[in-house]
Structure 1
Amino acid sequence: MRVAIDAQLTVGTATGIGEYVRGLVPALRRRGVEVVELREPRLNPWRFDRRVLWDQWLLPMRARGSRASLLHCAGGTLPWITPLPLVATVHDVAWLAAQRHARPYARYYFGNFSLQRYRRAAQIIVDSYHARTELLKFLKDFDDRRVAAIYPGVADEFRSLDRQAADGRTILAVGTIEPRKNLELLVRALAHLPRARLVAVGPLTPYAEQCMALARRLAVAERVELRGYESRAAVLSLYRTCAVVAVPSLYEGFGYAAAQALCAGVPGVVSDRTSLPEVVGDGASIVPVEDLDGWVAALRHALAGGDDERASRGRAGAIARFSWDTAAAAVERRYALAAQ
């Protein structure tokens, strides 16, 4: 089988969706699937106008010339017109359910416009069972047999990470620093944890300054580091030595940081929202986002090493659960259905 896959979000700064493509493509090739990666390095996928240009014009043109039997749109957006059967990976429906702060044109394009296109997909893949339930709420009367929950894998570097002695101080947050990541909750918790420091890595948005303004008001700014995008090596170094990974998100379709922490044997504290309880199971502490005292207590416990044994004990199960080879096998089955 020859499949064209939209790999545009691997250009430049890679976030969770870029990680998805970078993990899935080699795993599919190991199974004998011929994969053609479609991308245009000269276009910045994080500029809205460039993203639309790619999605609606360049991607269909490249797909037409790929000689593939189907097109896998792995970034959550689909072209209006395409010459090939479509498989879509929908990572979340945050643009429909949670992105109230976004500009109206972006909310429409990534939300309602994309929702119309999902109806034309032969098969849809989502990253969690929670995401599947949420998507089907919006895709009323859609054949749910065409929507499959397939957990993404976690990169081998995390699965084989050699943990060092935790520093007992560092709370690590990983992901784009935007409102739905709810980093302000960690800043507020830091005011009650005088020895701790917060290190956040991920692309910066204007929300980062909002977090720093709060940190200054609470007199904890000197213990808050918003580092922006970091290399894979730098992120792995932080996972290797941090005391705890915190994911206080208001909305996640999956939760890469939480899954990476599980596979690396790092203690985690996550919110009770959306897919996060499903992803971590009993491998991390789950705390309601409204419960600041609960977050302070859970973080204090993890910083003191109280969750180290649980994290170590659950690592093997997480590694088996979040495997790219397992994911690729399930994705290939969806390709076969789409090509019928």
Structure 2
Amino acid sequence: MEMKLKLIPIAAAMLFASSTLSMAATELKFAHAAPETDLQQDLAKFFATEVEKRTNGEVTVKIFPQGQLGNDQQMITGVRSGIIDIEMSGLNNFDGLLPEVGGLFLPYIFTSRDHAYKVLDSEVGQGVLTKMEGFGMKGLGFPENGYRNITNSRKPIKTPEDVVGLKIRTNNSAALNEMFAMLKANPQPLPVSELYTALETGVVEAQEHPINITHSFRYDEVQKYLSMTQHSYSMLVMVMNLEKYEELTADQQKIISEVAKEATDFQRKLSIDKEASILADLKERGMEINDDVDKAAFQEAVKSTWNTYIEKFGDGMVKAIQAQQ
């Protein structure tokens, strides 16, 4: 009996230690829609590794790539409801919540990648991230998707006239849909999860994405021509469920924010470093890559999309972007 009594506090201590460890460990679900071969997965793995290391295992990150937890809109809804902790998708998918962010997608509004980074990391971008909190999300940063280029199965795109009548898949950006309508194409918004099949079956004959997406989603298998129109810079955004973020300790919150910034910088650099090899691989796979694009003609043809945006939301964001060239 005496031995049993001695064992009780030991067992209680072990149970308490196990319970404390269990309570301390937090696993975050991180979702994105890109394949595991995409740069988005590289970012997610960097983020997961560094968060676990710097929190001494108190916070771990489980990655769900390739739309395992839903399409872009479903992932955003999942983060807002707390079903998903972190998601990464194109900022254009937040148009419905923050339509004014459409100023960042206007065709040819960024003169370079560095210009885009400067704007996104300034008060303009940080203001967008702060506004996410009104929808139950903590904005963590703007990784790169890249410059959007047109692929199609018809011919190289050199001038605006080459786009006339083209059945092209677009995302849900109002500015980009207006742009292609203005060019007399036939824009058709489709979820990215449906795009490969739509191209394969001829529902659409063209699409416009950054080259890393064309590469990782293997659109080269159903598209012949890649034309470097670079008509719009496309940014991703990482968001976290705000309540989940606030449940973390102050030190853990700091680590999450710092690692998100470092992961964004890492992925942006990777995007630049890998661009040449991605283009070379697409060419080796059989795509014809066309650099002979009259960008000045495209800019002139679609500049009035800026006026449409300004009429709705004012010229504040446009001027703020231009001021940082």
Higher strand share: 2
* TM-score interval for Structure 1 and Structure 2 normalised by the shorter chain: 0.3 to 0.5
Structure whose alpha-carbon radius of gyration is higher = 2
Using CA pairs under 8 Å that are at least 6 residues apart, name the structure with larger relative contact order, 1 or 2: 2
